[in-house]
Structure 1
Amino acid sequence: MKLLEVLNSSTSALKGNGIEDARLNVELMLCHIFSCDRVKLYLEFEKPLSAGELDIMRNMLRRRLKGEPLQYILGETEFMDCRILVNPSVLIPRPETECLVEVLIDDIKSKQLTDVKILEVGTGSGCIPIAVSKELSRLNVKHKIVSLEISKSAIETAEQNKKINDIADDQLTIVERDFLKMNKLSNQINYLISNPPYINATDYKLLDKAISGFEPKVALTDESDGLTFYRKFLHILSEATYKFSCIFEIAYDLSEKLEDLMKENSLTDYYFYKDLNGIERVLKIG
């Protein structure tokens, strides 16, 4: 079969199963197989696929028809111009998480910091600290990021991403640690950042199967009210000895509940930032 025939038949199959952006999905699969961009793909429409290439395409198509996210099928995605390897052990990076990185970088620039120490809780694929490290290097800001993660398989993926993005060991260290079991943090850090599991148990059951059926549950929900990690963060921050700032991604419906928690912990210096959709997505404290 020629490339155009494969493109058209595969697009029809995905459309028939109600998959959005069917043609784009197929184009990206074919680009992955041929290691080319979409422009070159369009110049090769008459190119026949080998038996091996057809087998790869059929396998990818079967997986997509079962609802598996395209990013897992391709094995990678992009986050803020960083190539990020992904698999079912890590959450697929979302565009809205870029807001967290932007708030952090803007705050560092506004304070004119030249040497920054950051603690991240729950690194997953490592997309956040990698994007932060790259931008701080571009700005000539010396930095040390320590990222905590409970999943061994996620750590392996994050280490791979650290390597392919040329992040030095003295800039980013990934540590296996259960943050919820920690009682103290270093007061030498400037920032505590996190995109924690914030989907509550009820909403998790309502998630699209493309998410709950493939992405790691531990990265999506605390299996409670969605506030478990924030309670821990705020309890630690309420202790007078801690002077660092906190920047967290939050769920679309958590701002009022978080304000109540901050009042309980006598925290008044905070601000909610909206994402591109006008949704309160990031909370900065301090």
Structure 2
Amino acid sequence: MTTVLDILDKGTAYLEKRGIEDARRNMQMLVAHQLGCTRMDLYLRFDEPLEEDHLAPLRDALKQRGDGVPVQHLLGTVFFRQHEFKTDARALIPRPETEELAEWLAKHVTLPENARILDMGTGSGCLGLSLAHDFPAAQVTLADLSPEALNLARENAPRIGALASAGAIHFIQSDLFQNLAGQSFDLIAANLPYVPEGEQVSKEVRHDPALALFSGKDGLDLIRRFVPEAARHLNPGGWLAMEIGIDQASEVETLLHSAGLREIRTLKDLSGIPRFPVAQK
């Protein structure tokens, strides 16, 4: 007889052997998902026997996780701030750092009445949809070059509630601002690709679309195109907020200054890394 505790212990040992970080937590997430409960509930169910109809899919998920398939893809969802969003191989898995940016914007940015917000490179839509929830009076546009990513964002829109059906959220396929001519915004947020071409990334990250990761020799090719265009699409007093990679802050701040923006600074993430350049027009 295999109990919940047995499968947790054996699965954790297997994932550790395969080099998976935070193996115990990963295994808890897989078991809780299979049983339809929370990770905390597992502590009350350690002695519960597991039947084959639970064990078989768990073995399959465990093998995939050991092969580097992200746990978020196996679960099919990820929590981002106060919402649970769908995630899969069509877009970048939402990162905790991006959550930090969304939280900072919600706390520190004041927007005018009937504000317009743009989430450029929206991917799964988590950032833009969270901003739509935080600024419910705003019109929010989610833009991405990838039609597959935009479809995922559309599927995620109902997860923030009634706002999604109130006509305040718009989706547009666009190579940066190509299909946004004549539009201006009070807040433009962007988590664009910033990984240098050829840089080694983890097995998990390799499951994200390359289009969402890599951007030239130093990772800044797309950002160099984006910043001056974004500045031209900002209303006076409007905010530009971005997420960037390690050691990119200095060059990005120079780009922001050259674009004529002011109040330029790069906020640090919880690990102390300068991660989020913000500026105003």
Shared fold by TM > 0.5? Answer: yes
Secondary structure of the 1:193 match is strand
Secondary structure of the 2:30 match is helix
Partner amino acid, structure 2, of 1:148: A
Which of 223, 228, 233 is the aligned partner of 2:221?
A: 228
Q: Is the 8 A contact 2:140 2:169 kept in 1?
A: yes
C-alpha deviation, 1:180, in angstroms? 6.0
C-alpha deviation, 1:220, in angstroms? 1.0
Q: Is 1:277 the counterpart of 2:280 in the alignment?
A: no
CA RMSD of aligned residues (A): 2.2
Match of 1:168 in 2: 164
Q: Is the 8 A contact 1:180 1:229 kept in 2?
A: no
Pairing 1:149-188 to 2, within 5 Å after superposition: 149-166=144-161, 167-169=163-165, 170-179=167-176, 181=178, 184-187=181-184
C-alpha deviation, 1:231, in angstroms? 2.0
Match of 2:247 in 1: 253
Which of 137, 143, 155 is the aligned partner of 2:138?
A: 143
Q: Is the 8 A contact 1:180 1:232 kept in 2?
A: no
Taking structure 2 as the reference length, the TM-score comes to 0.89
C-alpha deviation, 1:158, in angstroms? 1.2
Cα distance change of structure 1 residues 58 and 76 upon mapping to structure 2, 3 Å threshold: same
Partner amino acid, structure 2, of 1:157: L
Which of 205, 212, 219 is the aligned partner of 1:219?
A: 212
Once the two structures are superposed, residues 177-208 of structure 1 have per-residue CA deviations (whole angstroms, 9 ceiling, x without a partner) of: 22164583513x21111111111214xx3212
| CA distance, structure 2, for counterparts of residue 48 and residue 54 of structure 1 | 10
Match of 1:96 in 2: 97
Task: Give the unaligned 5+ runs of structure 1.
Answer: none
| CA distance, structure 1, for counterparts of residue 123 and residue 233 of structure 2 | 30
Pairing 1:21-100 to 2, within 5 Å after superposition: 21-100=22-101
Count how many residue pairs are aligned between Structure 1 and Structure 2.
276
Q: Is 1:199 the counterpart of 2:188 in the alignment?
A: no
C-alpha deviation, 1:127, in angstroms? 0.6
Task: Give the unaligned 5+ runs of structure 2.
Answer: none
Cα distance change of structure 1 residues 281 and 49 upon mapping to structure 2, 3 Å threshold: same
